[in-house]
Amino acid sequence: MKEKQLICINIDDSGKLVNKEKVAIYAGIVFTSKKEKDKFITQYRSIVQSIKCRYCNKEIVKCNSNKSCPELKHNMLKSKHIRQLMNYIKKYSILCCIINNDNIYTNIKNNTASRGRFLDYALKLLIKQTVKGLIKEKLIDPNKPIKLVINIDEQTTKTNGYYNLKDGIIEELKYGIYNYNYGTRYNPIVMSDLEVSLCYQKSEKSYLIQASDLVAGNIRRIYLNNINNVIELKNKINFVDYYLFLP
């Protein structure tokens, strides 16, 4: 058996696909080896450990367990700590999908099933775009077996729901799809064995999801500050390696 190449994609969201919000973001980090992923976790955890006590209400002398430490979310961090963590995250590959809610039909935003299907579609496209980018950069060989691990925040899935996401990803990457509405055929991009593992994780227990939350929140903030200037927006998010704008 040929050794499988690893793609580990970690995703969280910021903002929801609803009328009252301007943008919905999916973003995170991608790794192409276990060694790279483990190195990231070790260093990211070290940075979190160095600053987390500043966000805890318990007196240090009375704190003897990490179980009571708060999860560091993007919306609670001071700017200097966001910069500190983002400066480290930027050393790795970042992906994001930006959904402009104003351009999405109201009936999609107002219907739970339709919203779930659209977000499922957006995630599949983002993952496909990322895999295509890794192939283009020769970080992944499409003719050799691939193991694709996708970690998604558990709370995100509870809020939006997903419809056969795993099967849809396999179909997009390995078999290609035919769009009957436009008579267009999209060819497969993976030519060998493809194993897909979809994991729903609790953010408080996963540094990968916590880092993805920080990336998604940071990109959403940049978007809202540059909502009418796409060129400026792209300049501001030039740390993103693989991105998708919808619609």
Three-state DSSP at 67 gives helix
| pTM exceeds 0.95 for this model | no
| Higher per-residue pLDDT: 109 or 162 | 109
Neighbours of 187 (CB within 10 A): 7
**Segments of the chain assigned E as strands:** 5-14, 23-31, 93-100, 146-153, 177-179, 184-186, 194-201, 242-246
Query: Crossing angle for the helix pair 79-89 and 207-225, nearest 10 degrees?
Result: 110
Read off the CATH number of the domain in which 75 is found.
Answer: 3.30.420.10
Residue-wise pLDDT tens digits, 124-183:
999 999 999 999 999 999 999 999 999 998 876 655 555 578 898 999 999 987 564 545
Question: What pLDDT does residue 180 have?
Answer: 47
User: Which residues face 28 on adjacent strands?
Assistant: 11, 95
pLDDT at 176: 82
Nearest to 237 by CA among 204, 228, 246, 226: 226
Structural domain range at position 105: 5-246
Question: What percentage of the chain reaches a pLDDT higher than 90?
Answer: 70
pLDDT in tens, 33-78: 999 999 999 999 999 999 988 888 765 555 655 556 778 888 899 9
Number of domains the chain contains: 1
